[in-house]
């Protein structure tokens, strides 16, 4: 869940239509029309990725007149399905995947089960990956992949490129070759397995 | 007792409040004093910065370190990217790191006649931070307009590694050669655990979001450190890597410059000093039984310094962060991720935040890093409405102020903290160079405990830490 209080605003006099903002927007809320960036106010998640990367400093973040609440109702989905999807992605349902918005794996899973079929759509519906824009792309991709969604990066975009390795997938030869330097591959895989199978804390109302 | 050390002044930045709004530093309040690091640990090395001659000794040390580096691979017609990271600019005002970068450029030019030398400065989660530093230290002019900040959401480049495809930043690698220009300050021990610290930027500052997320979400708290090594060892990076130059740092200041064409040899030296010097201050901080932590430095909450140790590490000082047999520190993103909906860890053996921190007085710190976990688990007083408003606008910290209270002034915040906690121990994270600003009772405690910590680290902990990292050959050193 995220309360979106900010909004990107383009200064058309400074915008050169370079498309950088389009390429970095995690919810695809910007397009360029007539060589000027245009923000979809309804869709903007206030993450400031565009403002932070615009080479012309042509975007400012302004306060929304009314904050927008972005949330997927976990209770609207069979929790058994959520648990199954999280399990296949090797995540505990209550595990936090977005540290900025506090979004848990269960909410991402619920969004996917309700039809979100890309990281951008997941971010639009849950608010995840609209804080720092960096740290939560992998668990989102893992959950989409577990749901058998075909992962195709946005054309010409820099939003994301691909899912990467997990600790369970590190080849045995690599583990044996390097473990003596303090990487604890097997122990960490075991730790994450324990987290995944930990009891839920059940407070599903918050 | 000694007078407090003058802390680094507030900095103008888009990530902090206007410096004029910082009316009072915590170290200026009654009852504060300072302890020099060398009073605590007399065996620490002498520093070349701060010194009476500014950064001249840093230039000298860089030239000396680079004198023996073979740069014959760099031809006059080639291009070179000097890769830098934001963190270096937060060390002792940033001038020493900036001077090392300038000197590296000068030496490469002189030794190779290469003219196309660029600066590519990576960031963490504040995407324009190094742009600010590039302007502040005149690096744009020094590099003749070829100095830029690079951010993790910029265009990427796939890098094939032993563990599959990972992703770097295209503009970090868009030259014939790269020079890894970093520092040995430990900073995020809760993340890297002093394993391959010298290699880490290849998985962070020079890397895309996919790679950083792999580190923080896909691997586990210790295995994560392999990500940087996988990238650095890739044929793509190896083909471009020329050498590394590090500002070497101890908790009391800059102690030199180290350079090597063999990054792993340099990494071993960095690991040794990181464990020995920072390990002692960290272990000493673990002896503090109760205190008020005062944040007062131009950096995000987690990164403010006291005695070379960042607040995020003090939040975990109730355990031995260097002991790799302990899987999870009390604070890291894996730990934070593993707190369930009832607000407690999903596993019983996940350690809680350092209970010695009775309250946090947030006098001055920046946005641009998600720290709501801290205000959720540590009673926090933020000084000034403007600072609270700044956090409320930060997309990474929309709930930080939901768990914190606001005080009008530094004085009232500290008064509140004294009254509520009952402790007079105050540890000030203000980056005081060469020492630590503290309250008198805490100074006395630190001075009393330091000799035993020194002995314990040298005789018991350091040998264990080095063995855990495959560095048995250094144990007797």
For the segment B63-85, what is each residue's pLDDT rounded down to a tens digit?
999 999 999 999 999 999 999 99
Strand order in the sheet with B32-36: B32-36, B435-439, B426-429, B291-300, B357-366, B380-383, B404-407
Region B48-73 average pLDDT = 97
The model's confidence at residue B477, banded by pLDDT at 50, 70 and 90, is low
User: What ipTM goes with this model?
Assistant: 0.98
Query: Does the beta carbon of A126 lie under 8 angstroms from any beta carbon of chain B?
Result: no
**Residue from A52, A74, A127 whose CB has the most chain B CBs within 10 Å, to mutate:** A52
Q: What are B141's two structure tokens?
A: 């002019």
Q: Do A92 and B338 touch (CB under 8 A)?
A: yes
CB A191 within 8 A of CB B226: no
- Please provide residue B277's backbone torsions phi and psi, each rounded to the nearest 5 degrees: -80, -55
The whole-angstrom distance between A175's CA and the closest CA on chain B is: 10
Helices (H) then strands (E): counts for chain A: 8, 6
CATH topology of domain A2-68: Alpha-Beta Plaits (3.30.70)
Query: Does the beta carbon of B321 lie under 8 angstroms from any beta carbon of chain A?
Result: no
Q: How many CB atoms lie within 10 A of CB A93?
A: 24
The model's confidence at residue A205, banded by pLDDT at 50, 70 and 90, is very low
| Minimum-distance CB partner of B395 among A46, A97, A194 | A46
Task: Check whether B172 has a pLDDT greater than 90.
Answer: yes
Task: Check whether A206 has a pLDDT greater than 50.
Answer: no
pLDDT tens-digit series, residues B102-111: 999 999 999 9
| Minimum-distance CB partner of B346 among A49, A160, A195 | A195
Region B417-430 average pLDDT = 98
The model's confidence at residue B414, banded by pLDDT at 50, 70 and 90, is very high
What mean pLDDT, rounded, does chain A reach? 96
The whole-angstrom distance between B221's CA and the closest CA on chain A is: 7
The whole-angstrom distance between A148's CA and the closest CA on chain B is: 19
Interface of B with A in 243-272 (CB under 8 A): none
Query: Does the beta carbon of A146 lie under 8 angstroms from any beta carbon of chain B?
Result: no
Q: Do B395 and A169 touch (CB under 8 A)?
A: no
Asked if omega into B50 is within 30° of 0 (cis), the reply is yes
Interface of A with B in 100-119 (CB under 8 A): 100-102, 104
Whole-model pTM?
0.97
Query: Does the beta carbon of B346 lie under 8 angstroms from any beta carbon of chain A?
Result: yes
Region A145-151 average pLDDT = 97
User: Exposed/middle/buried for A117, CB within 10 Å: 0-12, 13-18, 19+?
Assistant: middle
Region B415-427 average pLDDT = 98
Q: How many CB atoms lie within 10 A of CB B180?
A: 27
- What pLDDT shows up at residue B475? 86
pLDDT tens-digit series, residues A6-59: 999 999 999 999 999 999 999 999 999 999 999 999 999 999 999 999 999 999
Q: Do B327 and A96 touch (CB under 8 A)?
A: no
- Residues A132 and A129: their CA atoms lie apart, in Å, by 7
pLDDT tens-digit series, residues B205-222: 999 999 999 999 999 999
Query: Does the beta carbon of A18 lie under 8 angstroms from any beta carbon of chain B?
Result: no
Task: Check whether B356 has a pLDDT greater than 60.
Answer: yes
Region B114-137 average pLDDT = 98
Is the C-alpha dihedral spanning B408, B411, B414, B419 positive or negative? negative
Task: Check whether B476 has a pLDDT greater than 80.
Answer: no
CB A46 within 8 A of CB B394: no
What mean pLDDT, rounded, does chain B reach? 97
> What's the distance, Cα to Cα, between the start and end of chain B in Å?
35
Cα angle B148-B208-B274, degrees, rounded to a multiple of 5: 85
- Residues A94 and A105: their CA atoms lie apart, in Å, by 6
Partners of residue A192 in chain B, C-beta under 8 Å: 220
- What pLDDT shows up at residue A203? 54
Interface of B with A in 290-319 (CB under 8 A): none
Task: Check whether B440 has a pLDDT greater than 50.
Answer: yes
The model's confidence at residue B474, banded by pLDDT at 50, 70 and 90, is confident
All CATH 3.30.70.20 domain ranges in chain A, comma separated: 2-68
Q: Do B339 and A53 touch (CB under 8 A)?
A: no
Region A146-163 average pLDDT = 97
pLDDT tens-digit series, residues B282-339: 999 999 999 999 999 999 999 999 999 999 999 999 999 999 999 999 999 999 999 9
Q: Are strands B79-85 and B177-183 parallel, antiparallel or unpaired?
A: parallel
Partners of residue B469 in chain A, C-beta under 8 Å: 181-182
């Amino acid at each position: 869940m995220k309360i979106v209080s900010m909004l990107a605003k383009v200064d058309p006099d400074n915008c050169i239509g370079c498309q950088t903002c389009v390429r970095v927007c995690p919810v695809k809320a910007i397009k360029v029309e007539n060589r000027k960036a245009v923000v979809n106010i309804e869709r903007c998640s206030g993450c400031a990725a565009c403002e932070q990367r615009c080479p012309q400093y042509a975007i400012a973040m302004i306060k929304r007149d009314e904050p927008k609440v972005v949330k997927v109702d976990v209770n609207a989905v069979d929790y058994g399905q959520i648990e199954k999807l999280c399990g296949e992605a090797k995540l505990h349902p209550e595990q936090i995947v977005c540290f900025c918005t506090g979004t848990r794996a269960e909410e991402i899973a619920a969004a996917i089960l309700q039809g979100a079929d890309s990281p951008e759509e997941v971010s639009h519906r849950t608010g995840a990956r609209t804080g720092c824009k960096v740290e939560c792309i992998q668990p989102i991709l893992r959950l989409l992949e577990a749901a058998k969604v075909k992962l195709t990066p946005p054309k010409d975009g820099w939003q994301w490129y691909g899912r990467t390795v997990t600790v369970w997938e590190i080849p045995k030869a690599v583990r044996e070759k390097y473990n003596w330097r303090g990487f604890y591959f097997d122990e960490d895989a075991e730790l994450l397995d324990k987290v995944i199978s930990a009891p839920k804390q059940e407070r599903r109302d918050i | 007792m000694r007078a407090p050390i003058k802390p680094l002044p507030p900095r103008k930045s888009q990530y902090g409040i206007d410096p004029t709004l910082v009316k009072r530093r915590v170290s200026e309040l009654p009852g504060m004093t300072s302890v020099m690091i060398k009073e605590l640990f007399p065996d620490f090395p002498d520093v070349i910065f701060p010194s009476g001659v500014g950064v001249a000794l840093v230039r000298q040390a860089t030239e000396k370190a680079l004198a023996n580096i073979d740069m014959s691979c760099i031809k006059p017609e080639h291009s070179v990217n000097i890769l830098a990271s934001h963190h270096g600019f937060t060390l002792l005002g940033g001038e020493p790191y900036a001077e090392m970068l300038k000197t590296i450029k000068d030496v490469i030019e002189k030794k190779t006649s290469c003219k196309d030398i660029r600066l590519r400065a990576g960031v963490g989660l504040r995407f324009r931070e190094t742009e600010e530093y590039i302007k502040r230290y005149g690096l744009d002019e020094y590099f003749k307009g070829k100095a830029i900040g690079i951010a993790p959401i910029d265009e990427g480049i796939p890098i094939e590694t032993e563990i599959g495809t990972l992703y770097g930043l295209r503009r970090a690698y868009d030259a014939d050669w790269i020079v890894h220009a970093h520092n040995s300050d430990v900073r995020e021990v809760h993340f890297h655990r002093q394993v391959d610290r010298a290699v880490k930027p290849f998985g962070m500052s020079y890397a895309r979001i996919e790679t950083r997320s792999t580190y923080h979400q896909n691997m586990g708290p210790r295995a994560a450190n392999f990500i940087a090594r996988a990238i650095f060892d890739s044929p793509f990076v190896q083909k471009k890597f020329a050498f590394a130059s590090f500002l070497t740092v101890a908790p009391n200041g800059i102690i030199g410059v180290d350079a090597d064409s063999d990054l792993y040899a340099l990494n071993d030296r960095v690991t040794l000093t990181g464990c020995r010097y920072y390990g002692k201050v960290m272990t000493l901080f673990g002896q503090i039984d109760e205190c008020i932590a005062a944040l007062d430095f131009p950096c995000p909450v987690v990164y403010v310094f006291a005695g070379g140790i960042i607040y995020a590490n003090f939040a975990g000082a109730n355990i031995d962060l260097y002991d790799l047999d302990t899987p999870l520190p009390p604070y890291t993103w894996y730990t934070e991720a593993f707190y369930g909906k009832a607000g407690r860890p999903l596993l019983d053996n996940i350690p809680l935040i350092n209970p010695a921190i009775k309250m946090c007085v947030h006098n001055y710190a920046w946005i641009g890093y998600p720290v709501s976990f801290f205000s959720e688990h540590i009673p926090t007083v933020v000084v000034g409405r403007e600072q609270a408003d700044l956090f409320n606008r930060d997309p990474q910290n929309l709930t930080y102020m939901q768990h914190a209270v606001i005080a009008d002034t530094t004085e009232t915040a500290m008064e509140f903290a004294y009254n509520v906690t009952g402790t007079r121990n105050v540890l000030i994270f203000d980056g005081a160079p060469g020492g630590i600003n503290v309250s008198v009772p805490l100074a006395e405690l630190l001075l009393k405990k330091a000799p035993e910590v020194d002995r314990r680290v040298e005789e018991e902990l350091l040998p264990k830490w080095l063995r855990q990292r495959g560095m048995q050959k250094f144990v007797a050193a």
